[in-house]
Amino acid sequence: MYAKNLTSYETIEIHTFREIFYVGTCKKPDINIFDDKSKNLIVCENDHIAYRYQIKKVLGVGSFSQVYEAYDWKNRMNVAIKIIRNKEKYKKQSVKEIEFLKFIKDKSSNLPFAEMLTSFEFRDHICIVFKIIGPPIGSQVGESLDVQKYAIDILVCLQFLHNHKIVHCDLKPSNVLLSYKKIASLIDLGTATYVNEQVYKYVQSRNYRAPEVILRIRYNEKIDMWSLGCLLFEVAKGKLLFEGKNEAEILMQVCRKIGEPPKRWKKFCEKFLNEAKPAIGCELIDEIVDLHPVLKEVILGCVQWNPKRRISSNEALNLFKSNA
């Protein structure tokens, strides 16, 4: 019945699936090459994934994966599918991500995390299926957002992770999605790690990267709090807190906006900046003077050089809740 929709490879592949719900309607070249040069799975609009999911549109593209909105013809619902690049190191990371997602689903008591529905392998790509949520909080910057309410949503997720010694490692506006119920949900545990493991030295997106990560100093869950401070500032003010083309520029901005590094870190900074002398200042205080006092206190508490002096997720959550 549907032979015209299948490539010669699919006419063989389809027999390995016990259930068939959708075969795709887009035209595909009749070749057995499924990956592009970056090892991302090649798909087109209305193509199928595992003869069940209909690709609708791209939701996001990352270093390790691509995320698509799709229609699940078995359960008759829209979903988000994260398709991991076909490289061994990324596949290993995705196995760890799935472990964290299962742990969260079992233990988190309906906290606002992205909910994993299932996972499977298709054409050598690990696929993770999530309930669809909504747009990233970053796309809403500049609109009338209740920043403190969303901060509480994010913090209850961070509190759960940190209480279980898990570091998210990539907190940023594009990894916080807003549902139609105006709830902020935390997504993307692709580089998450336990505090005592630290599998990845290169973590966090550059504009949200904590100084200890830049300087390759051992880190803990407090790097998430640094990123939270950057995120809250960006959502409240509509601009990046620390912006740079490279890590050295970020470090220079940190010095200019929050002051000089701790004495024990100065040698690391000087070596990293090739002995350039950064301008030292406290511009951040002036930039947030118009914000709510609690929001201001949390942002300043998050972006502290010394992780030990940095506010914890528990402390920040208590501050917001006591002033809700």
Roughly what angle, to the nearest 10 degrees, separates helices 293-302 and 313-322? 180
Secondary structure letter of residue 107 according to DSSP: H
108 confidence band (pLDDT: 50, 70, 90)? confident
Query: Whose CA is closest to 68, among 19, 130, 14?
Result: 130
Q: What is the pLDDT of residues 75-98, one digit of tens each?
A: 999 999 999 999 999 999 999 999
Show the DSSP H helices in the chain as ranges: 8-13, 88-107, 147-163, 211-214, 222-237, 247-258, 263-272, 283-287, 293-302, 313-322
Residue 275 is encoded by which pair of tokens? 């002995």
Per the rule left: phi > 0, alpha: psi between -120 and 50, beta: everything else, 238 is left
Burial level of 19, CB count in 10 A (0-12/13-18/19+)?
exposed
Identify the weakest region by mean pLDDT among 117-131, 134-148, 172-186, 207-221.
134-148
Burial level of 46, CB count in 10 A (0-12/13-18/19+)?
middle
Can you give the CATH number for the domain in which 110 is found? 1.10.510.10
Mean pLDDT in residue range 239-264: 93
Provide the pLDDT for residue 3.
Answer: 87
Residues 170 and 254 reside in one and the same domain? yes
Q: What is the pLDDT of residues 188-246, one digit of tens each?
A: 999 999 999 876 677 999 999 999 999 988 899 999 999 999 999 999 999 999 999 99
266 confidence band (pLDDT: 50, 70, 90)? confident
Per the rule left: phi > 0, alpha: psi between -120 and 50, beta: everything else, 24 is left
Tell me the pLDDT of the chain averaged across its residues: 92
Residues 142 and 217 reside in one and the same domain? yes
Q: Does pLDDT of 140 surpass 70?
A: no
Mean pLDDT in residue range 270-274: 79
Residues 83 and 226 reside in one and the same domain? no
Identify the weakest region by mean pLDDT among 9-23, 100-114, 272-286, 307-321.
272-286
Mean pLDDT in residue range 177-190: 92
Q: Does pLDDT of 142 surpass 60?
A: no
Show which of 131, 149, 170 is a domain's final residue.
131
Catalytic residue among 47, 72, 153, 170: 170
Residue 134 is encoded by which pair of tokens? 């909504």
User: In which domain, by residue range, is 34 found?
Assistant: 3-131
Residues 68 and 99 reside in one and the same domain? yes
Q: Does pLDDT of 322 surpass 60?
A: yes
Q: How many angstroms separate the CA atoms of 210 and 217, rounded?
A: 10
Question: Which helix (DSSP H) or strand (DSSP E) does residue 122 occupy?
Answer: strand 116-122
Residue 125 is encoded by which pair of tokens? 């790509």
Query: Whose CA is closest to 175, among 154, 156, 194?
Result: 154
Show which of 131, 155, 182 is a domain's final residue.
131
Q: Give yes or no: 146 in active site.
A: no
Rounded to two decimals, the pTM is 0.92
Residue 67 is encoded by which pair of tokens? 């995320």
